[in-house]
Amino acid sequence: MVADRAGVSRSAVSRAFTKGSYLEESKRQKILEIATEIGYQPNALAAGLQGGRSRLVAVIEGDVRNAHDTAVISQLCSALNANGFWPILVSVTRMNGGADALAFPLDALIVRGGSMSEDLVHRCAKLGVPMICYGRPTEELNIDSAYCKNRTGMELAAELLVSKGRRAFGYVGGPDQFYSSMQRRKGVLNVLERANLSLEAEVVSDFSVDGGFAAARSLLMANTHLDALICANDAMAIGALGAAHTLGIAVPDRLSVVGFDDADMADWQITQLTTVRNPLETTVQEILKLLVDRIDNPDRECRTIRVEPQLILRGTH
């Protein structure tokens, strides 16, 4: 239809939409104007498949429980778009072992392995699609991965509180099946052991603000002597700040509270949470580098990128 109305060949229409293809500029503009008028748009997927690349990347999003998880997915998808890829979000609850994702001609998978069980990560690795794992190491699977050094980051937080003179530590952990939960808890225990201290109270919650509020309130009511509360992520730490407020516990005078991630809400004026930064932008950039390199070099050895955390001092320690 475009070719007929513009009085050109179909190949000329194709060249008008192909970056770098030769075509007289006046003819290109006429074709594009007619295409806009009648609502024509080339099928990018079909064009990509002709060249052997679909540019489709499935993002297995894992268990999304808070605003930081949403920010991870948003930045990852934006970065994929900026690099010419088209993300397909696949909920871990719908994946059914990868069947949903494999219905598309994928160039690669990005799996948020830090927020799903190890078993599910292993199932994703068997799908026969180039895969990048975010959030946990996967060297044993011969798969590329990028993750924040969770244990190191939590050691920084615990060392800060020990240096401040805190001695009675409580801990609000995340779901046991998540890699990040296990590593962050180990970081706390390592520092306390070196200081000849131990966790005096501990509870597991769900990485959400509401979960953190309920868990911290219960823990603080049963352990009124605590002077330090470390939470496995910022959402639970913000819930813990709310719990301390309702119980009349002054933060940081009587109780230090720290989190992990440096989510946007950690820097709100009303929050000012001391936390450990999980460098999201750096990690997303590294994931994209791994992805492009893996697609261009499918037979290269796997690589693991370990991103350094950073202690962020605000007003709750």
Q: What is the pLDDT of residues 197-213, one digit of tens each?
A: 999 999 999 999 999 99
Lowest-confidence pick of 64-73, 178-187, 258-267, 300-309: 64-73
Instruction: Say what the pLDDT of residue 47 is.
Output: 53
SS3 percent helix, strand, coil of the chain, rounded to 5, is 45, 15, 35
Model pLDDT for residues 262-273, shown as the tens digit of each residue = 999 999 999 999
Asked if the model's pLDDT at residue 46 lies above 50, the reply is yes
* Strand, helix or coil for residue 273: coil
pLDDT (tens digit per residue) in 88-132: 888 766 555 444 556 677 888 888 877 777 777 887 777 778 888
Check residue 165 and give its pLDDT: 97
Mean pLDDT confidence for 128-148 = 85
Contact (Cβ atoms closer than 8 angstroms) between residue 142 and residue 298? no
Every domain range in the chain assigned CATH 3.40.50.2300: 53-148+280-309, 150-277
Q: Is 20 left (phi over 0), alpha (psi -120 to 50) or beta?
A: left
Cα–Cα distance measured from residue 204 to residue 174, given in angstroms and rounded to the nearest whole number: 6
Per-residue confidence band for 231, with pLDDT thresholds at 50, 70 and 90: very high
Give the residue, 155 or 98, on which the prediction is more confident: 155
pTM for the structure as a whole: 0.80
Instruction: Judge whether residue 48 has pLDDT over 80.
Output: no
Region for residue 14 given its phi and psi (left: phi exceeds 0; alpha: psi -120 to 50; beta: otherwise): alpha
* Token pair for 190: 């390592």
Most confident of 35-39, 67-71, 265-269: 265-269
Domain 53-148+280-309 -> CATH class: alpha beta
Quickly name the fold that domain 150-277 has.
Rossmann fold (3.40.50)
